[in-house]
Amino acid sequence: MTFRKGQYRSAAVSRPKELDRAEQLLNDGRGNEAVPLLKKVKMDCRFLAWDQKAILLLANQYFETGQFGEAVAEFQTLKKKTPDIQAKLRESMIQSGNTGALLADLEKDIFSGTREAAARAYLMRAELKSANGDPEGARRDWLKVATFFRAQKEIAKQAEEKLNGHEEAQDARRPDSLR
């Protein structure tokens, strides 16, 4: 049966047996065998909520097996992204070299996210800057977190530790006459 947009409020279907089998295979450590079943559920149950469950399981399988490009693609198709999913998505983006899209996401969190999301985004952006040869840019981001996000104690503490480590490294590079 085919319904057009506006002809229904929601649709439901019983839990697919392929999803149960895929979860069992994942629990048994046989994730590679679960992937085709999850892909089938994802396609057959599109827009029926079971597709989101299959996508999440598929994305986590790809993440766990180091297939970060595939994990990014799956995580991005999820409708709801918890902080844990966001963290895995961003880690997958870094590991797959997709830092351009990651920087755009970080900027969005910095300007319109919660205080905690903004602090985490600044921290991650600082790490990217540091890894890409911009220690001063990284230092500025760590300083912002340490100064303006003190209410997010754990994140501010991480930023302060990075700042202290950065300053110690800078001192070690200076000639003795300038210390």
Chain segment 90-109, per-residue pLDDT in tens? 889 988 888 888 888 889 88
| CB-CB contact of 113 with 136 (8 Å) | no
Q: Are residues 166 and 102 in the same domain?
A: yes
Domain membership of residue 33 (yes or no) is yes
Least confident window among 8-12, 24-28, 32-36, 81-85: 8-12
Together in a domain, 114 and 167 = yes
Number of domains within the chain: 2
What local confidence, expressed as pLDDT, does residue 94 receive?
87
Domain membership flag for residue 86: no
* Between 174 and 65, residue with greater pLDDT: 65
Q: Do 57 and 102 share a domain, yes or no?
A: no
Please name the residue that has the structure tokens 């709801």.
Answer: 80
* pLDDT number for residue 81: 84
- How high is the mean pLDDT of the chain? 87
Q: Is the pLDDT of residue 5 over 90?
A: no
Distance (Å, rounded) from C-alpha 116 to C-alpha 153? 10
pLDDT (0 to 100) of residue 102: 87
In percent, the amount of the chain with pLDDT more than 70 equals 91
How would you class 112 by CB atoms within 10 Å of its CB: exposed for 0-12, middle for 13-18, buried for 19 or more?
Answer: exposed
Question: Where are any strands of DSSP class E within the chain?
Answer: none
pLDDT tops 80 at residue 52: yes
Check whether residue 16 and residue 71 sit in a common domain.
Answer: yes
The predicted model scores a pTM of: 0.71
Residue 74 and residue 48 in contact, taking contact as beta carbons nearer than 8 Å: no
Q: Indicate the pLDDT class of residue 33, thresholds 50, 70 and 90.
A: very high
Domain interval for residue 26? 10-79
Q: What is residue 70's predicted lDDT score, i.e. its pLDDT?
A: 96
Please, what's the b/e burial string for 91-108 (b: 16 or more CB within 10 A of its CB; e: otherwise)? Answer: bbbbebebeeebbebbee
| Mean pLDDT computed over 129-134 | 86
Spell 62-72 as b/e; 16+ CB within 10 A means b. Answer: bbeeebbebbb
